[in-house]
Structure 1
Amino acid sequence: MATRLPPGFKITRDTNTEEFFINMGPQHPSTHGALRLALRMDGETIVEVVPHFGYIHRGMEKQAESMSYLQYIAMSDRQDYLTAIQNNLGVVIALEKGMNIGVPEKAEYIRVMLSELGRIASHLVFFGCFGGDLGGQTCLLFGFKEREMIHDILEEVTGSRLTTNFFRPGGSRYDVPENFIDRVKALLKHLEGAMKDYERFLSKNVIVLERSKGIGILSAEDAIAYGCSGPVLRASGVDFDVRKANPYSIYDQFQFDIPVTYTGDCYDRYTVRIAEIHESMRILYQCIEKFPKDGPWRAKEKPVRIPVGRYYSEIETAKGLYATYVVAATTGEKPYRIHTRGPSFPHIAALNKMVQGHKISDLVTIMATLDPVIPEIDR
C-alpha cells in the first residue's frame, strides 16, 4: 500500500521505506513537564507528529470556580512556573479592572523590575536546556548558575524562589527590601560579562549552527495562523509584543527594542531570546535610575470584590501572550469563571508544521526552541 503523505510533502528519494509509528514519551522530551509525541515515520524521516497532553492535568480553571480571586493568584504560579511572577501580574491586572483601582508609581516599578528579572531567568533556563539538548552540558550548568542569582533576589523579595504568589490588586504583598536596587545593580554588572560567555558557547558554535540553521522553519503566515506569540512569533518576522502593542503597567515609559528575525528557524528562535535578555537588562537599568525611593508600594487595601461583568488582561511573558479572562456572575469574592490563554499550546500545535521532513534529533532541537512548559497547557 502506498504511503500517505501530507498535501504538498514529498520524500526526495527513489523508494520509500515502510511507514511505522513510534512514541516519544511520555517524558521530558525537550519540555518542562510530561508530554507524549506520537510520530509517524517513513524510515528515519518524520511524516507527522501528534502531541498528546493531559498527563499532569489538574483542572485549575474548574478549581477557580470554588476559590476566591486572591486564591487564584497562587494558581497562576503553577501554570508556567518559569514565568510565575509575570503570570501573577496578568491576573491582578484583570482583577484591578474589575475593582477599578489604580496602582502607586513605586508599585509599578516593582512590578516591571520583577517581571523583567523573571523574563531573564526564564530565558536562561531556555539557554541551558537548548544547549543541553544539543549535547552541551556546560550550557546547562552555566545557565542555571546565573538563574539562581536571580532567584536569590526573588526569594528575598517574595519569600519564594519559584512560585512567587507576590502581586496583589493595587500593588504587591510587601515592599522591596532596602538592598533591592543594589542587588539588581550587582546582578546586571555580572550578567554583562556572563552573556559574553553564553554567546561564545552557542552563537557561533559550528555544531549549533549545523543543527539549528534551516531546521524547523515556521513562516510568518503559519505563525499567525496557529496563534503563536512571543519569541516564536518574532523569530518568524512578526513584530508583535504586548508591551509595545498594548502597553500595560508603565512599559510605555521605557526605551527598549523588540528583537525580530525573519528566517523562523531554530537558530532565529535562539537569537531572539538572547537579544531579549539584553533588552530586559536595558529596561532594568532605566528602572534603577528612576526608581522612587519613597511613596506607597500598594494602594489602600480593601476586600477583593468584583462587580458583575467580564474583565480581560493580556501581558507579555517570556514565552509570549498570557491572557486572563474573568467572568463575575455575581458581585462578590469568587468568580463564575477564570480562563487563561497561555502561549505554549499554540506553539505545540504548530510543531507538526515544523518537523515534517526532519529527523528525530531535529525534533528535539525544534522542541527546545519552542521552550514549552506543559503544566501551562495541562491546567
Structure 2
Amino acid sequence: MANEIQYTYDKDHLVRSEPGKYREDGLREEEVIINMGPQHPSTHGVLRLEVLLEGEIVRDVVPHMGYLHRCFEKHAESLAYNQIIPYVDRMDYVAAMNSEHAYAMGVEKMLGITEQIPKRVEYIRVLVAELNRIASHFVSVGTYAMDIGAFTPFFWLMRDREHLLRLLEWASGARMLYNYIWIGGLYYDLPVGFEEKCREFINYLKPKIREVEDLIVNNKIFVERTANVGILPLDLAINYGITGPMLRASGLKFDLRRVDGYSVYPELEFNIPIGEGKMGTVGDCWDRNYVRVLEVHESVKIIEQCLERLTGDLKRNPDFDPQAMVPRKIRPKKQDLYVRAENPKGELGFFFRADGRSDIPFRCKARSCCFVNLSVLPELAKGGLIADLVAILGSFDIVLGEVDR
C-alpha cells in the first residue's frame, strides 16, 4: 500500500492528497521530511532537496533551486551582444568554452556571417571546446566517484584536468572564465608552440584514461553502487526533454554535433557512445558515467584531427588575423532566433529577440541542459533508497551556475 501513496506539491510543502492517519504535521507515523542541502556537498553546494522518507525509502523529492542567482538573462537585456560573453562563461563555469561557442554561433547566424568565419578560427574553436569537454567530464567522473565514497579517482582526474586548464589559460589568459571565442572570431590566435604541447599532452592522457576506467568503471564496488540504480527509460528521457550524455546513456544516438552539424564537426570523424547496459540496465547510473568516459576518448580523436589540420593546410600564418571578421558594430536585423549546441552536459540553447534598432538584445533566453535534466530527478528517486539518491543526483552532472541562471 505504501507504493500507492500519492503526494502533491502545494506552494512550499509536500502535501498528502488522500485521507489517512496523520500526525499534526500531516505525515504518517513512519514518515519524515529531511533536507539534503544546500550545505550537503553531494548537492553541489547550493541545491536543496526536500525529501519525503518512509524509513530509508524515498517517497518523493522536490528540488529547490535559486540559491546562486546568476541573473544571466537580465544582465543580457542591458549589455551589448559582445559584452554578454563573460556572463555566458559564468553559467556553466566548468565548460565555458563550449558555452561561448554556442552563443557566438547564435549571434553570427543573426548577422548572417556564419559562412565567412575563417576555417582556422573554426578549427581552433572546436579544439578548445573539446579540451574543455574533457575537463568538464573529468570533473563529473571525479566528483561522482567522490560522492559515492572514493577519493583517489578525484585526485587523479584533477591532476590531469590541471594540465587542460593550463593549456586553455595559455591560449586565453584566463583559468576558467575565458572570453576567448568572440563573435566573428577569436580573442587571439593560438600561442606559438601550443599545437606541439597539446599533442604532447594528448599522448600523455591516453593511457591515463585507461587507468581511470580500471579504477572506477570496472571497480566491483562502484558497479554495485551504480548498476541498476536510477534507471532512466528512453521514453521518459524524451518526454522530459533530457539531452546530452544522460539521453545517450538511455540508448539514443542523439548528438547535436552530428544532428545539426555545426561548425566543422561534419568534417571530423568520431563516434557517438550510447548506454548498452553492460553492467546493469540501459540508462542506469553506471551507463551515464560510462558514456562520459567514452566521450573523452572521442574528444581525444577530435583534438588529434584538429591538430593535424592546424599544423597542416591551416597552419599559422603571420598575416592571419583571428579578429578580421569581428564586427565593429553588432546590430542584427529584427528577428527571433534559437541556436543550440552540444555542451558536455547536453543541449545548450540561446533564444534571441532583436528589435533591429539596438546593439542590445531585447531578449536573450538561455535553455539550460542542467536545469532540464534536473527535472527528472523525482521520477528516478521515488521508491529508491536514500543512499541511492546521492548516486542518482551525482550521475546527472549538473552545475548550479547554469541551473540558477
Distance (whole Å) between structure 2 residues aligned to residue 42 and residue 3 of structure 1:
10
2:284 to 242, 251, 265: 265
In the superposition, the TM-score normalised over structure 1's length comes to 0.94
* 1:5 aligned onto 2:29: no
1:48 to 47, 60, 71: 60
* 1:66 aligned onto 2:78: yes
- Secondary structure of the residue aligned to 1:338 is strand
TM-superposed CA distance for 1:204, in Å, is 1.4
Distance (whole Å) between structure 2 residues aligned to residue 356 and residue 139 of structure 1:
29
Cα displacement string for residues 185-226 of structure 1 (whole angstroms, at most 9, x for unaligned residues): 011011111111111111111110110000000000010111
* 1:232 aligned onto 2:246: yes
Identical counterparts, % of pairs: 39
Kept in 1, the 8 Å contact 2:70–2:91? The answer is: no
TM alignment of 1:100-111, pairs within 5 A: 100-101=112-113, 102-111=116-125
* 1:212 aligned onto 2:226: yes
Q: Which amino acid in 2 is paired with 1:300?
A: M
TM-superposed CA distance for 1:300, in Å, is 3.1
Runs (4+) off by over 6 Å = none
Distance 1:374 1:134, change over 3 A: same
Cα displacement string for residues 308-328 of structure 1 (whole angstroms, at most 9, x for unaligned residues): 112221100100100011111
TM alignment of 1:247-258, pairs within 5 A: 247-258=261-272
Kept in 2, the 8 Å contact 1:33–1:375? The answer is: no
Residue equivalent to 1:181: 195
Distance (whole Å) between structure 1 residues aligned to residue 227 and residue 189 of structure 2:
45
Distance 1:248 1:357, change over 3 A: same
Distance (whole Å) between structure 2 residues aligned to residue 266 and residue 173 of structure 1:
39
Distance (whole Å) between structure 1 residues aligned to residue 112 and residue 211 of structure 2:
46
Kept in 2, the 8 Å contact 1:103–1:298? The answer is: no
Residue equivalent to 1:10: none
- Secondary structure of the residue aligned to 2:254 is coil
Kept in 1, the 8 Å contact 2:130–2:299? The answer is: yes
Distance (whole Å) between structure 2 residues aligned to residue 133 and residue 321 of structure 1:
25
Kept in 2, the 8 Å contact 1:31–1:374? The answer is: no
Distance 1:2 1:213, change over 3 A: closer
Cα displacement string for residues 28-49 of structure 1 (whole angstroms, at most 9, x for unaligned residues): 5434440000001111100111
* 1:336 aligned onto 2:348: no
Residue equivalent to 1:288: 307
Residue equivalent to 2:12: none
Distance 1:2 1:277, change over 3 A: closer
TM-superposed CA distance for 1:140, in Å, is 1.0
Kept in 2, the 8 Å contact 1:92–1:169? The answer is: yes
Residue equivalent to 1:136: 150
Q: Which amino acid in 2 is paired with 1:351?
A: L
TM alignment of 1:147-186, pairs within 5 A: 147-186=161-200
In the superposition, the TM-score normalised over structure 2's length comes to 0.88
Distance (whole Å) between structure 1 residues aligned to residue 248 and residue 207 of structure 2:
26
Q: Per chain length, whose mean CA-contact separation is higher, i.e. which structure has more relative contact order (CA < 8 Å, sep 6+)?
A: 1
Q: Which amino acid in 1 is paired with 2:269?
A: Q
Distance (whole Å) between structure 2 residues aligned to residue 155 and residue 53 of structure 1:
31
Residue equivalent to 1:346: 372
Q: Which amino acid in 2 is paired with 1:206?
A: K
Q: Which amino acid in 2 is paired with 1:232?
A: M
| Structure 2 segments unaligned to the other structure (5+ residues) | 8-27, 277-281
Distance (whole Å) between structure 2 residues aligned to residue 203 and residue 2 of structure 1:
35
Residue equivalent to 1:244: 258
TM-superposed CA distance for 1:58, in Å, is 3.1
